[in-house]
Structure 1
Amino acid sequence: MTQNENLAQLSAAGVSVWLDDLSRDRLTSGNLAELINTRSIVGVTTNPTIFQGALTKGDAYNDQFNTLVDQGADVDEVIRVLTTDDVRNACDVLAPVFEQSGGVDGRVSIEVDPRLAHDTDKTVAQALELWKIVDRPNLLIKIPATQAGLPAISRVICEGISVNVTLIFSVERYEAVVGAYLAGLEQARQIGRDISHIHSVASFFVSRVDTEIDARLEAIGTDEALALRGKAGVANACLAYAAFERVFAGSNDLWNSLAAIGGKVQRPLWASTGVKNPAYPDTLYVTELVGPHTVNTMPEKTLEATADHGEVRGDTLSGTAEASQGVFDALTAVGIDLADVFEKLETEGVEKFETSWGELLDAIDAQITAARGRN
């Protein structure tokens, strides 16, 4: 099969294209394999919202669900088995990509229970559990970049487990995430672990930044404020990329010592790249965020939009820090409290995943009750 030209150009420019979705139907129908062959897909991400949608629609899980219920499984066990089976099977589909890329790509992410986002010890315990259950080297464990998540990241990395750090909104928090990754690698080195097999990505959310800041700009309502709509998300990501380059392409002594024994860069990952405002180009968070050592996780709608009309112009990230800082300075000047924006987005991000997980638990619990009532 032939790869789509636009997505192939994106890959050639240094962007790993990952699909932000997974379901049993995608696996059994061969759709995921087709996307690998025609859309340059080299990874998959999941989250509680994705699983909530997959497990509560259609009948793809019915046979396995009924078997688990007959065996006496409770709601947590049912969800754990169904989701980890999907992730394991997706890891197997992507195994050739994993091998061909030397472990850089071919990755599939699964998230710890979002209700644990503020509990370091329980996050670490579940990360270890999920790693053992899925039992695939191309797995990434998703840990949120909350204050409690930061030490969990270091501890899990130290255990030799690859991590996808999620729910990053501010450059300041991103820099703390990089520090947590490096600390974990250093701890792993100190106990004699081979760090060359440990990988990580840092998932920086993009579209939600524009959604929140645009609403505040419109509330301010001045010409200066309105002229800044749709600029914050890309500028924020560009500043994060500059921070990435300062550490991983600069003179950071700790990183350079780790790289010398096989340490891998923690790649910036652009998440939430579906454009929510129809006034903006639907490939905005793809074509404006192109650069070496990056990942873009796309919902299928964004993937297909990029395949159809995305204009890949090469590296659009490098050298943008000064202009992006100018955007942030202008936002502050018109009255945007950026610290408040990022705090709100993190809180809402955790709450949204908790809500989706709760809805999934309730739905599966009701299905279990109904199944046992029929028996």
Structure 2
Amino acid sequence: MTQSTPTAQLSDAGVSIWLDDLSRERLSSGSLQKLIDEKNVVGVTTNPSIFQAAITSGTDYDAKIAELAARGSSLDETIFEITTTDVADACDLFAPVAAATKGVDGRVSIEVDPRLAWDTDGTIAEAKQLYKKVGKDNVLIKIPATLEGLPAITATLAEGISVNVTLIFSLERYRAVIEAFQSGLKLAMENGHDLSKIHSVASFFVSRVDTEIDKRLDAISTDAAKALKGKAGVANARLAYQVYEELFSTKRWAVLAETGALPQRPLWASTGVKDPAYPDTLYVTGLAAAGVVNTMPEKTLDATFDHGVVTGDTITGTYEEAAGVLTALEGLGISYTEVVALLESEGLDKFVASWKELLADVEGALVTARERAPIR
């Protein structure tokens, strides 16, 4: 570790630090550039909840909404324009990072409309539209890892479009995501695309696993249950890294890699600690390994920068212990399969709810802007 700050040390350990937030204010104020310069941020992720919070708080988007209202833009067109503009501008900001890392980092993610999570064809169509509209090589199109999303992931990659697969909770689904990724690359190669230009991450959610399982452990309330609190999220993610190592060491992958393909990196999402009893850098320092991404809310980024203790690789060699955590939970009657299915359902519901709130708020803003427009 040659650099002094914990975020620099984390980068030295092979972890790419991305910020899980984006807004017009971050871009215009220079605060995002400052995080790049000072806290080793090399990418950005967004989601429907982030856009809902950004667009509906403050007045940063009022002028743009008024302009779009005057043009006669519809509600969906307005939101599409606002979100893709922010992402395109962020892609420009990160372009030097993308160039320096040959596109591995410097990435900005934008998610398909969450209401399409159960619509394969609709997801494919919107992924193409988002990619075309943003118009930047360093954009990642986010597609949820629903059963309907898996073939959409393959089809989007087959078009040469880089993808961030999101809302992964289970190891079984993660295996299916990697299968969809490798199938997509094979098709992309057959379609004549340069595989070295296609990038992907698989967003494995962490803290929400602990939130749900801890609630069940509290209900059991035995010493054995209490001893397992706060351990499931990290254990699940560490086992995901084991899957990553396994499936990117196969003969099938070697064939793709020989043609220039790059592995789909694991991305740790939902890394803000929900329980204040836990260390606020738990899902950062406990999940360090070469080749991973950790996308953090700013609060977690600041905590890591301030007092994170980075000790290098904290994943490799932990798999037996991690598997023991999940086995112990099953022994207490906590069903892993049930928990991860519930978390996927709740995650999708949350994003859809945020999107609907965004639609309602922007619709109100469009109406107000049209009412205030001068009569010609």
The TM-score bracket by the shorter chain reads over 0.9
| CA distance in 2: counterparts of 1:315 and 1:132, whole angstroms | 38
Aligned partner of 1:28 in structure 2 is 28
Give the AA of the match of 1:85: T
From 249, 266, 278, the counterpart of 1:268: 266
SS across alignment from 1:18: strand
The equivalent position to 2:257 in structure 1, one of 259, 274, 278, is: 259
Match of 2:371 in 1: 373
State the alpha-carbon separation in 1 of the partners of residues 58 and 317 from structure 2: 47
- The runs of 4+ residues in structure 1 deviating greater than 4 Å are none
Whole-angstrom CA distance in 1 between matches of 2:90 and 2:4: 22
Residues 131-170 of structure 1 deviation map (CA, whole Å, 9 limit, x = unaligned):
0000000000000000000000000000000000000001
Q: CA deviation at 1:64?
A: 1.4
**Which secondary structure state, in structure 1, belongs to the residue aligned with residue 142 of structure 2?**
strand
Structure 1 spans left out of the alignment, 5+ residues = none
Q: Which residue of 2 aligns with 1:353?
A: 351
Tell me the residue number matched to 1:289.
Answer: 287
Q: What are the equivalent positions in structure 2 for 1:216-235 lying under 5 Å apart?
A: 216-235=216-235
Where 1:160 maps in the other structure, the secondary structure is coil
Cα deviation code 1:189-209 (max 9, x no counterpart):
122221110000000000000
Q: Deviations over 1:200-220 (max 9, x none)?
A: 000000000000000011111
User: What is the distance in 1 between the residues matched to 2:190 and 2:139?
Assistant: 24
Q: In structure 1, what is the equivalent of residue 58 of structure 2?
A: 58
Of the three residues 332, 337, 340, the one matched with 1:339 is: 337
* Secondary structure of the corresponding residue to residue 370 of structure 1: helix
Corresponding residue of 2:5: 5
Q: How many residues align?
A: 371
Normalization by structure 1: what TM-score? 0.98
Task: Give the TM-score of the pair, scaled to structure 2.
Answer: 0.98
Task: Output one character per residue of 1:320-354: Cα deviation in whole Å (capped at 9) or x when no partner.
Answer: 11110011110110110110000000000000000
Residue of structure 2 aligned with 1:315, choices 310, 313, 317? 313
Could you tell me whether the CA contact under 8 Å between 1:4 and 1:38 is conserved in 2? no
2:45 match: 45
Q: What one-letter code is carried by the residue in structure 2 that aligns with 1:359? A: E
State the AA in 1 paired with 2:214: D
Cα 1:109–1:4 change in 2 (3 A) is: farther
The aligned counterpart of 2:297 is 299
Alignment partner of 2:356: what SS? helix
Any conservation in 2 of the 1:4–1:40 contact (CA below 8 Å)? no
Distance 1:63 1:4, change over 3 A: farther
In structure 1, the partner of 2:94 is: 94
Contact 2:196 2:262 survives alignment (8 Å)? yes
CA distance in 1 between partners of 2:4 and 2:39 (Å): 6
In structure 2, how many angstroms separate the alpha carbons of the residues matched to 1:143 and 1:58? Answer: 29
SS at the partner of 1:187?
helix
Offset of 1:370 from its aligned partner?
1.8
- Contact kept? 2:65, 2:369, Cα under 8 Å: no
Confirm or deny: 8 A CA contact 1:4 1:39 kept in the other structure.
Answer: no
For 1:307 and 1:268, how far apart are their aligned partners in 2? 22
For residues 308 and 181 of structure 1, what CA distance do their matches in structure 2 show?
36
Structure 2: tracts of 5 or more residues without a match: none
- 1:243 counterpart letter in structure 2: V
TM-fit CA distance, 1:4: 6.5
